Chain A
């Protein structure tokens, strides 16, 4: 396993369109996170899954944003009716079960760069 993968790497869309991003975590990792990063800032937490259950959501995650993780494997993040302010890098991270060594450490994918015109 080579790490967390994300697709697409880049997405350009027009304002008002819907977009969906996919994240495939490291295979033995049961926890999955989504973050958003804008230029010059650190990543900001959006949401967290343990297996298929969405356990935590940030106030940043408006009702236009939805995330799923069916069967506790890959995850998707959908943004409906995109706005120019949604332009950012969307990062996915995964971490192993807490009982293991380094269970707190999150490993990031390469990100999906979204540009809303």
Chain B
């Protein structure tokens, strides 16, 4: 069965303290690995799509990477406005995407 697992569940960082969020997946015939940001009470906001192992994408302080079993979301020198829940999702051969439970990121000033 397709599965996506994220760790840690929650992460508290000091402003400027870089770190990485992990997403492990078991999906048959991966057709996309997605990262979303979700603020409280809002819908997920699209960040990145990765398609193949070795692929990397960057946006401001965020960089997403992909291997055959995991994806990482690296955050460099985070600011308080980066505080949010970060969701990882994967699409296999089916149309639906499977989400992880998310990592709640909190950045202290």
Name A residues whose Cβ lies closer than 8 Å to a Cβ of B: 4, 6, 31, 33, 40-45, 48, 50, 55-56, 58, 91, 102, 104-111, 113
Residues of A within 8 A of B94 (CB): 56
Residues of B within 8 A of A109 (CB): 43
Answer yes or no: B102 CB below 8 A from chain A CBs. Answer: yes
Please give me the residue from chain B that is nearest to A46 by CB atom.
B96
A92, chain B: closest CB distance, angstroms = 8
Count A/B pairs, Cβ under 8 Å. Answer: 60
What size tier do the contact residues of chain B reach?
Answer: 20 to 34
B87, chain A: closest CB distance, angstroms = 5
- Choose one: B46, B96, B100; the contact of A107 (CB below 8 Å): B46
Residues of B within 8 A of A107 (CB): 46
Q: List 28 A-B contacts (CB under 8 A).
A: A4-B43, A6-B43, A31-B95, A40-B101, A42-B89, A42-B99, A42-B100, A42-B101, A43-B44, A43-B87, A44-B99, A48-B96, A50-B95, A56-B95, A91-B43, A104-B34, A104-B49, A104-B51, A104-B91, A105-B34, A105-B46, A105-B49, A106-B97, A107-B46, A108-B43, A110-B43, A111-B42, A113-B41
